[in-house]
């Protein structure tokens, strides 16, 4: 079954972390491509071939794609539950299982509390986002009050 945007009432992603990840990815690609282009320009005593240049540029692209994985985290909230996607994979948490959203002191990101002292980290709501994170937590709690009662 394909999920539509309309299946969720609220979706949030980290703003600053995604922006930083994009900048770092771009820098990695530019640096590696530049170094690859300059490999055969000066005599260093090492013989670099064209394939070495492509390999170095390819590594830059690969590293950049790895850093871009940090732009994936998101939190979605709707009648069917809470969708938490961090760097890899997404987990849908039913309302009857969730025991709230917390933001422990000193934590970098929020977390969904589960029974038996377990939790799911929510990298989409990060402390470095400031007011954006506060608004996201408030909106989550509004929807939690709406859906947790009906679950």
What is the per-residue pLDDT across 92-108, written as a single tens digit (0 to 9) for each?
999 999 999 998 888 89
Quote the tokens at residue 70: 């940090």
What is the per-residue pLDDT across 48-102, written as a single tens digit (0 to 9) for each?
888 999 999 999 999 999 999 999 999 999 998 999 999 898 999 999 999 999 9
Pair 137, 103: CB distance under 8 Å: yes
Mean pLDDT of the chain: 89
Could you state, in order of their start, the residue ranges of all structural domains in the chain?
8-13+73-150, 16-70
Pair 91, 84: CB distance under 8 Å: yes
| Residue 3 predicted with pLDDT over 90 | no
What totals of helices (H) and strands (E) does the chain contain, helices first? Answer: 3, 7
Q: From CA 92, how far away is CA 123, in angstroms rounded?
A: 15
Pair 102, 110: CB distance under 8 Å: yes
Chain centre to alpha carbon of residue 95: 23
| Residue 1 predicted with pLDDT over 50 | no
Architecture per CATH, 8-13+73-150? Roll (2.30)
Crossing angle between the packed helical segments 50-68 and 16-38, to the nearest 10 degrees: 180
pTM, rounded to two decimals: 0.79
């Amino acid at each position: 079954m394909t999920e539509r945007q309309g299946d969720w009432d609220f979706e949030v992603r980290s703003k600053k972390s995604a922006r930083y990840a994009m900048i770092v990815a771009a820098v990695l690609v530019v640096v590696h491509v530049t170094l690859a282009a300059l490999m055969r320009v000066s005599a260093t005593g090492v013989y670099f071939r064209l394939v070495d240049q492509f390999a170095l540029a390819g590594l830059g692209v690969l590293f950049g794609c790895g850093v871009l994985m940090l732009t994936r985290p998101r939190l979605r909230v709707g009648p069917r539950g809470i969708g938490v996607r961090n760097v890899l994979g997404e987990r849908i948490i039913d309302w009857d299982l969730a025991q709230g959203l917390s933001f422990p002191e000193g934590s970098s990101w929020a977390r969904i509390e589960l029974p038996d002292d377990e939790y799911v980290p929510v990298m989409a709501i990060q402390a470095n986002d400031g007011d954006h994170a506060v608004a996201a937590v408030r909106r989550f709690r509004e929807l939690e009050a709406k859906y947790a009662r009906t679950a």
